[in-house]
Chains A and B, each alone.
Chain A
Amino acid sequence: MSFFKKQLDTLSKFWSVGYFLGLRQIVRGSIWINLLIISIMTLTFLSLVVIPGILVGLTEGSFEQNREYLTGDLYLTTLPDEETIVNSQDIVRVLDSLPEVENYSVRYKIGSTVEAGYINRDDFTEEAESLSVSAFVIDPEQEEATTGLSEFLIEGEMLSSDRSGEVLIGSTLLQKYSNFSDLFEPLVNVEVGRPVKITLQGEVEDDFQREQQLLDGNNDPGQTSEFIVAGIIDSKVGELSSSIFITEQDYRRIAQQRSLQAQEIVVKHNGRFTDEQFKDIALSYGFGRYAKVQTATEAIPKFLADVQQTFGFLGNIIGFVGIIVSSITVFIVIYINALTRRKFIGILKGIGISEGAIEFAYSIQSLFYAVFGIGLGLVILYGLLVPFFVQNPIDFPFSDGILVAELIPTLTRALILVVITMIAGFLPARIIVRQNTLDSILQR
C-alpha cells in the first residue's frame, strides 16, 4: 500500500469513527449543554456583527439621509471657479429628455439674513434678532417630488408655487428646537403664520432700503422683504435644518434675478443603474463641462466621510476583539466539555481508538455548535434585528441609526467564526487527548 493510500485510509477511519462518536455525543448528550453552547455561539456571532453593524449603520443612516434629501443619486454643483452651473437650462433640458431620470430639483443657494421679532422691537440700542443663514431657492413641487422635503415639517405646511411670500425655516435656527445655542444666538420670535424679514444677498438698487438695512444693523447688502413663516423644517441632515427655503418666484421677484443659472441640481435615477453608471451617462452628455458631477457617495460631506471611515475602523477593531473573545469562549467551553469527559477519552484511547479520531469527534462537535449557533444568529439577525432597526431606527443626533448587515461581509465573519470555532474546539480536545492514557482513565 502506498504511503498516500495508507494516509488516506487512516484519515477515512478518523473521519468515520470521529463522526460516529461526535454525532452521538451531540445527539445523545445533554440537551441543556447543547443549547447553552449554541446560545453562546449565537450571542458571540451577534456581538460580532451587531455592534459593528450599528456603528456602520449610524453613518450609513446619515449617508442615506444625505442621498435621499440633500444630494440625490447624482449631485451637480458649480465648478470650482464658477458661481453658478453654467448652462443650467441646457442640463435641465437633457434631464427632461433622459428616460433614466426619475426626478430632479434645481436649486439656487444664496446667503441671506433672517430677522425676527422686529414688530415688537422697542429698544433699538440692542442688536436686532437676526441670523445669517443659507437660503435654498427651490421649485416646491419639483423639490417635493425629488426629495420629499415636506416629510421634515414639524410645524406648518410646505411651500407652494401658487403662493408667494412664504418661507420655511430650519429648526436649528430657532431657540425652541436648537441644540446649538452655544454657537450662535438662535431666533426666538419665530412662529408659523408670523412674519420675518429676509435679506437675500446681492446688490441693492433702492437707496432707501439700503439705508434702512444699515439702521437695522444689517451690514450685508441685499434685497430685503417680509415673508410669512409657512413651516418649520427639522431634519437630521444638518444643512436642511440650518437653512431657510423660499420659492424661485419670490427669489426672482425680490432679487430681480433674471439669471436662470442654478447652484445645485439634484437628480434621482429610476433605480435601474448604479450611481456610477448614471454618472457616466450624465458625463456622456457633457455635464462635466458645466458642473461638478458627483455621485451621492462622492458628495458625502468630508466630516461624514471621516466619521464613516473612523466608525468602519472601530467596527473592524470591535469585530477583531469579538473574534478573539469568541475563540477564547469556545476554547473554554469545549475545554470544559472535554475535561468532564476526560475519563471516557482515556478509555477510548485505552481500547485503541486513535487520538486523531477523538480529536475529529470534538472538531465535529465544534462545527455543529458553530453552524447551528451562527445559523440561529443569522435567523435572528435578518429575521428580527435588521427589520426591527429599519422600523425603529436608533435616534442619534445626526442620523437615524440602522443596523447594517450586508450579506457578504456577514457571511465572511460567519465563516471566520466557524474556522476559529473549529480550531478553538480542536485545541482543547488535543490537549486532553495528549494526556497520559492511564491518568485520564484514573482521572488523576
Chain B
Amino acid sequence: MITVKNLTKTYTNGEIVTPVLKGIDMDIKHGEFIAIMGKSGAGKSTLLYQISLLDKPTEGTINVNGIDILNLSETERTQFRLKRLGYIFQDYALVPELTAEENVAIPLLMQGIDSNKAKGKARHIIDSIDMVGKYTNRPNQLSGGQQQRISIARAIVQEPEILFADEPTANLDSASSEQVIELMRDLHKKGQTIVMVTHEPEYTKYCDRIIYLEDGKIVSHDYKIST
C-alpha cells in the first residue's frame, strides 16, 4: 500500500544542516495498524509528515497504491489528502468557530457533497463514536477526549485509505486515551489502515507492528499479534 525507499529529510537553517531522517525504507500493507515509536528527536513525527504528504522529503520515493506522491503538484497533493488520507493531530486541531458536526462535515463539503447530506453523514459518524447529541457543541464546549474523538470522526468521514495519527493520546488523560485507542482499534477491525506515532508503549497493544526509530533510522520492526 505504502512503499518508502531511501527517504531522507534534512533541515537547513543558514549554515546549520540537520539531518532528521537518514534513508528510511519501509512498507505498509493494506489494513495494517502500525505504530512508529522512538525517543524524542528520533524523527518519528517527521517520518509521519513525509508519508502523509504534509511535508516533502529531501530525497527518496514514497509510493501510495502505485502513485509516486512526490511527483504530485500542490493542488494534486491537497486533493490526494482530501480524498485518500485522514489525519488525527495531537492537539485535535478542530476549527474553533465550527460546531462538532461542521468540523466533521467540512471535508465532505470540499468534495462537493450537499450541505444537508454532509451534515447527515457527519451526525451518523458522531453517533458511531458515542457522542450522540454533541453535534452543535463547539470545540471549547467539549472535553479533550471528546475533541479528539470528533477529530477522529473528521478524519474518517470521507472513508480514507490511510489514517495518520500523530500522538493522538499525548494530551489526554488515561481514560480518554483508552477510549481513543479503543476507537482506533474498532476502525482497524473494520479494515482501516492506520499509521500512528506514539511514545507510549501501552497504547501500541492493538498495533500489528511497531517501527522503532533512532536517530533518523529504523532500528527494528516488531510484529505483534493484536488482541
Contacts and interface: CB of A to CB of B under 8 A. Distances in A.
Given A12-B112, A17-B110, A351-B82, A28 B138 contact: yes
A352 B108 CA distance: 10
B94 to A, nearest CB: 8
Chain A residues touching B, range: 20 to 34
A204 to B, nearest CB: 92
Contacts of A29: 97
B78 A355 contact: yes
A353 interface: yes
Given A344-B96, A351-B82, A17 B106 contact: yes
Nearest to A12: B112
Given A25-B97, A344-B95, A353 B138 contact: no
Nearest to A355: B78
Contacts of B107: 351-353
Nearest to A439: B55
Nearest to B112: A13
A24 B103 CA distance: 11
Given A349-B78, A351-B154, A438-B49, A13 B110 contact: yes
With most chain A CB atoms within 10 A of its CB, the pick from B102, B138, B155 is B102
A348 B95 contact: yes
Given A351-B87, A352-B81, A437 B54 contact: yes
A350 interface: yes
A339 to B, nearest CB: 16
Interface in A20-52: 20-21, 24-25, 27-29
B6 interface: no
A17 B89 CA distance: 22
B50 to A, nearest CB: 10
Interface in B188-224: none
Contacts of B55: 436-438
A352 B54 contact: no
B75 A354 contact: yes
B81 A351 contact: yes
A26 to B, nearest CB: 9
B1 interface: no
A352 B110 contact: yes
A344 B98 CA distance: 11
A289 to B, nearest CB: 76
Interface in B26-84: 49, 54-55, 74-75, 78-83
Interface in A337-371: 343-344, 347-355, 357
Nearest to A23: B97
Contacts of B87: 350-351
B78 A352 contact: yes
A9 B78 CA distance: 16
B142 interface: no
A212 interface: no
A153 interface: no
Nearest to B83: A352
B21 to A, nearest CB: 14
Interface in A95-133: none
Interface string B139-169: 0000000000000001100000000000000
B109 A17 contact: yes
Contacts of B78: 349, 352-355
Interface in A391-439: 436-438
Contacts of B170: none
A16 interface: yes
Interface in B115-130: 115
Nearest to A27: B97
A352 B54 CA distance: 10
A16 B12 CA distance: 39
A441 interface: yes
B81 A350 contact: yes
Contacts of A357: 110
Contacts of B132: none
Contact of B79 (A12, A350, A352, A438): A352
Interface of A: 9, 12-13, 16-17, 20-21, 24-25, 27-29, 343-344, 347-355, 357, 436-438, 441
- List of 6 A-B pairs having minimum Cβ-Cβ separation, nearest first: A352-B82, A28-B97, A352-B81, A347-B93, A438-B55, A24-B97
Interface of B: 49, 54-55, 74-75, 78-83, 85, 87, 89, 93, 95-98, 102, 106-107, 109-112, 115, 138, 154-155
20 contacts: A17-B109, A20-B106, A25-B97, A28-B98, A344-B93, A347-B93, A348-B95, A348-B106, A349-B78, A350-B81, A351-B81, A351-B82, A352-B81, A352-B107, A352-B110, A353-B106, A353-B107, A436-B55, A437-B54, A441-B93
